[in-house]
Structure 1
């Protein structure tokens, strides 16, 4: 099993607390996800995120194919970071850490994603041809939506 890494940073001219309030609300995930994924949260959401919280989603990663996804918030330290991990879904492994750091221009948000696919050696081909390009497209869309919402800042994607 090969572990892939996606690291993405974006700076927003807002406070860390404002960033936390937006990104820690799972209802906002659909707002920053490309419409072609048809993502919807299917579980009730509490007023505030907490460790142990389970969130269920429905999405269509490929036209005509609906997928259920269950993530657990395994760690959360307001307003510094939170981690969501897949419990059931399209990946063999998914660990996504969201960090919020104050910087001179506002707040730097960093997404650090580690993921793995099944399918043995075929998984590397699937990642190269389908998964990695789709994740890059999702994060490009997210950057565009967030720039419009909070104002343009700097950003730097890194895939490996």
Structure 2
């Protein structure tokens, strides 16, 4: 199975505590996901839910062509205010490993997302990735970048 990797970086003019509080809450993910994804948390979490290792988060998503899917991820690693990792346990990918890193910088926080994913075996997976999946994932993270700027502003150095 071939894996693919993508990386995004963004600076935000907020404190490390604010960044951690926002991004470590599963409920906030819908706020930075394109509306057409039909993203909805189906886990029974509240605003007060604190992320923990082993936490399972279930979602409903509509990634392509109006097809609704269930998706379950697990928070596998956490280092408070430094990073957390989520991995797919059930969903549209053969493998999904998403690392979220936070670093305090002058005037704000630097966030890095590293995504490693796999889809169907070759040659179908490679073709699907080249034609659809990679582009779709990039669009989701481009939307996310804009939504974060709208919510927190843009750190200009």
Residue 4 of structure 1 deviates from its aligned partner by 0.4
Aligned partner of 1:145 in structure 2 is: 147
Contact 2:2 2:121 in 1 (8 A): no
Residue 63 of structure 1 deviates from its aligned partner by 2.6
Pairwise CA RMSD: 1.1
Alignment of 1:1-160 (within 5 A): 1-45=1-45, 47-153=49-155
Q: Structure 2 length normalisation: TM-score?
A: 0.95
User: Following the alignment from structure 1 to structure 2, what is the Cα–Cα distance between the partners of residues 123 and 93?
Assistant: 12
Q: Deviations over 1:77-129 (max 9, x none)?
A: 11111000000000001000100001113100110000011132111110011
Structure 1's consecutive aligned runs of 4 or more residues displaced over 6 angstroms after TM superposition are none
Where does the alignment leave 5 or more consecutive residues of structure 1 unmatched? 155-160
Where does the alignment leave 5 or more consecutive residues of structure 2 unmatched? none
Quick check: which one's strand share is greater? 1
Q: Deviations over 1:48-81 (max 9, x none)?
A: 0000000000000113211100000001111111
Count of residue correspondences: 154
User: Following the alignment from structure 1 to structure 2, what is the Cα–Cα distance between the partners of residues 153 and 141?
Assistant: 17
